[in-house]
Amino acid sequence: MTSSTTDNDDSHSLKRKRQDELPWCLVESEPAIFTEMAHTYGATSIAVEEVYDLDMLTDGNIYGLIFAHPYEDDLPAPVQSDEDKKDAASVFFSCQIVTNICATLALLGILFNIDSQVDIGEHLKNLKSVLGDVDPVLRGNALGNDSLLRETHNSFADAQARAEAEAPSKARKGKKGKRKLTEEDAYHYVSYIYLDGYIWELDGMNKFPCKVAPAESSSWIDTLRPYLRQRMEKQDMFSLMSIVPGAWVKSNDDKLKPYNTIKKKIESQLAELTAQHDKAVDTGSLLFTSSHLSADELIDAHLRPVIIRKLEGLKDQLEQERIQLTDSDVPNETQIAAAEELARTRLENTRRKHDYMPFMRLLFEKLHEQDLLRDLIETSK
């Protein structure tokens, strides 16, 4: 987003002034960019996908959503009740203190809050651990000063913006002809997550996470869909991205589905038999109570411990087979396709990052020297 939060507090102003020494660039709303940013942080099991139709969103495989829209600076500030404040205590939220950080902040807002579901990498784990008890304003300032986050973010900006960001501070301040932001540039990013019975909107321009609606974990996307549709109807331009398990992770999940199904059945039977066994007469006293048991009950009492041991052994064997399957070096077709898609994404990002201007400048100079430029212009008309 092209404008940072405002505050009359002097310390807040000082924080922003320090950040002027380390500017953040604008980045495109491209899933490939967000995927590689997450992977650079260490969250390598997730992917970011474009959402073209709200009806294509399905519950069960979405960690969060990122909504990008033209920045509006005249929106009323949300109101937070004491109850909302209490419910929001478990949400890891950061205010936007730094200009243009909102794309990264929206991604981090999701990653920090799904660390119990996926591995988000050591860097983000350490950040969350250090900033866990810090208020959202100081947290936002700390994230804005993090070199890995900033360098990763800026690596996806255009060449001119990167050059300006990397220039010495005095050179930046005195630089003439600096690129002015257009309405197309002025996009803001917010994220949506489900946590502890509610859908939350994480917008760094607010002072706290905002409740959207109560929901169930199994159907929160269905609950959020009408709200998103309403927001989209108010915007002429927007983009929506979903954070989901990477195809390589989905492949492993599909491969392990039969094992997980059998494992659940075994665990259910074990729990039932163990509960029955705890209530039953132990084998040492069966001789004294056998007259009170039917033949079937007596057989069950004797066989139950044997069945429990057999099921526990089967469960251990199943776990060993599962480990062997996941450790297999032979990729399946889905994994190969996922790896190829990831390679295409990285190639796309490499091309996006490359500065083509020196080549183009030299090309036109040589064409001009050989008096070919005029002919090419005429031919193209």
Q: Which residues contact 302 (CB under 8 A, 6 or more apart)?
A: 283, 286
Angle at 258 between CA 257 and CA 263, to 5 degrees: 95
Bridge partners for 80 per DSSP: none
Neighbours of 53 (CB within 10 A): 7
Gap between the Cα atoms of 8 and 37, Å rounded? 33
Gap between the Cα atoms of 20 and 17, Å rounded? 5
Question: What is the torsional sign of CA 213, 216, 218, 222?
Answer: negative
Q: Which residues contact 353 (CB under 8 A, 6 or more apart)?
A: 155, 156
Nearest to 224 by CA among 194, 195, 244, 204: 194
Three-class secondary structure assignment of 73-112: CCCCCCCCCHHHHHHHHHCCCCCCCCCCCHHHHHHHHHHC
DSSP structure class, residue 56:
G
Catalytically annotated residues:
102, 188
